[in-house]
Structure 1
Amino acid sequence: MDFRRVPAAVKAAAVVVVLLLGAAIGVLLQSSVSAPDAVAEPGGIEVGFAQDMTVHHRQAVTMGSWARDRTTDGAVRQLAFDVERGQTEQIGRMQGWLAAWDRPSQPAGRYMTWMPDDGHNHRGAAGFDGVATMPGMATEQELARLRSLSGREMDVYFLQLMRRHHQGGLPMAQYALDRAGVPAVRSLARSIVASQTDEVGVIEHMLFLRGAKAW
């Protein structure tokens, strides 16, 4: 399918469908947790992971949508589509959990306050109040540059940004996988770790084939 020829309204409707599907899956998974050792009430890790990873994923979806519609490289288009589709569904799932838990859809203040003892960037548990920007996130200037490019330059820059973005999100997913008490949250975190690790490898190979460096 040539995604560049799909009407914008159809694309928007498809995104809504994927979000709703993900949300429905999230609610169903959460409501199905009934094992004796299950955590009925989510803690800070589960809520923080769902809120922060939603924000992180949304930027990846934005970049993926942009590249998918504008690249002429079939491999880049497929990767961008996979990122957009996969992370849109995961956003829907996490937002479904937050709705079921009656928690806000996004964090109220700084990010990663639920990860005080991850050992990343020499943070310690005492007095940790989160970060203003999550690892891997593109700046507004970088997003503006991505939108200004075309052709091979855009493809390479998109791949570089997405590789860094995935690598920045992996520690959050691993932390949730190791410490979350809700099985459905651990399951999603495991899926994110696996899929984004694989995609980092794919992106690095794509950059190599295009004679470009990975950041």
Structure 2
Amino acid sequence: MTRTTRTYWAAGTAVLLALLFAAAATVTAASDSDGGGTSARAPGLYSPDAGFARDMAVHHQQAVEMSFLVRDRTKDEPVRGLAYDIANTQANQRGMLLGWLDLWGLPKVVADEPPMSWMGTTDQHGGHTGHDMAGHDMGGNDMAGHDMGGGAAKPGALMAGMATKEELAQLGAAEGRDAEVLYLQLMTDHHKGGVAMAQGCATQCKTPAERDLARGMVEAQQSELTLMADMLKQRGAAPRG
């Protein structure tokens, strides 16, 4: 068995485990809810549990979008297979995260919440700890553009690891090997940001099922990072920066 085959098998196994975590998480969350659909232990609006669910749902949506883009721009089966796995896994996980917000009776979007601000939050049932709702620290200093614990987002990107509109347009215009390399590079960045966010939830979230899902995300995406590094090397390329 070649190194690439072993790595691909490991990544596929991690993806399956992540999906199993997600399915178990839904059952656990549902069993914790009362007749009105809201858990008696529901997290607060600005808690890490709720913030991670909202932010990771957005983060995952872009991964699904990029995976569909590359699927139509290459005939390379390993890349198409990876893209399918990522799209399928992250679409399922996104559904779980949004489902939890519904169960908790919390909104999927909070207009005054800066992306990833929950990573500096420890209060589980009330307001922000360390950041106010306008994205300032409690000393009144603007937090925009600063690292909130998961790595700073690059200019033009919403969260750490996410691609910009220009990069998505580049991917949409690329074909063949160029599309494969750009996708692998963009998804490598995306996974690094996603791993940092999931590690943050695994440390800070109080909902056991959500912590388990976050840990599954870390394992799956770290395996895929190894796989993507190998795939880039095969194409005479490397991860960016």
TM-score range with shorter-chain normalisation?
A: 0.7 to 0.9
Shift of 1:42: 1.4
Q: What pairs with 1:147-166 in structure 2 (closer than 5 Å)?
A: 147-166=172-191
* 1:50 aligns to 2:70 (yes or no): no
C-alpha distance in 2, partners of 1:208/1:111? 33
Q: Which one of the candidate residues 71, 74, 80 is aligned to 1:71?
A: 74
**2:118 aligns to what SS in structure 1?**
coil
Q: What pairs with 1:174-213 in structure 2 (closer than 5 Å)?
A: 174-213=199-238
C-alpha distance in 1, partners of 2:144/2:106? 20
Whether the 8 Å contact between 1:23 and 1:93 is mirrored in structure 2 is: yes
Match of 2:119 in 1: 115
Whether the 8 Å contact between 1:39 and 1:182 is mirrored in structure 2 is: no
C-alpha distance in 2, partners of 1:131/1:25? 36
- Return closer, same or farther for 1:208/1:107 CA change in 2, 3 Å cut-off: farther
Where structure 2 has 5 or more consecutive residues not aligned to the other structure, the ranges are 1-20, 34-38, 123-128, 136-142, 146-157
Structure 1 residue identity aligned to 2:103: A
Shift of 1:150: 0.3
| Normalised TM-score (structure 1) | 0.79
Whether the 8 Å contact between 2:68 and 2:83 is mirrored in structure 1 is: yes
The number of equivalent residue pairs is: 185
- Return closer, same or farther for 1:100/1:26 CA change in 2, 3 Å cut-off: farther
Structure 2 residue identity aligned to 1:41: A
C-alpha distance in 1, partners of 2:101/2:163? 25
Kindly provide the CA deviation profile for residues 168-192 of structure 1, in whole angstroms up to 9, marking residues without a partner as x: 1111100100121111110110011
Question: Percent same amino acid among aligned pairs?
Answer: 42
Whether the 8 Å contact between 1:57 and 1:88 is mirrored in structure 2 is: yes
Where structure 1 has 5 or more consecutive residues not aligned to the other structure, the ranges are 1-21, 119-124
RMSD across aligned positions (CA):
2.5
C-alpha distance in 2, partners of 1:73/1:28? 37
**1:89 aligns to what SS in structure 2?**
helix
**2:237 aligns to what SS in structure 1?**
coil
Of the two structures, which has the highest relative contact order with CA contacts closer than 8 Å and spacing of 6 or more? 2
Kindly provide the CA deviation profile for residues 152-206 of structure 1, in whole angstroms up to 9, marking residues without a partner as x: 0011000000000000111110010012111111011001100001101100000
- Return closer, same or farther for 1:136/1:74 CA change in 2, 3 Å cut-off: same
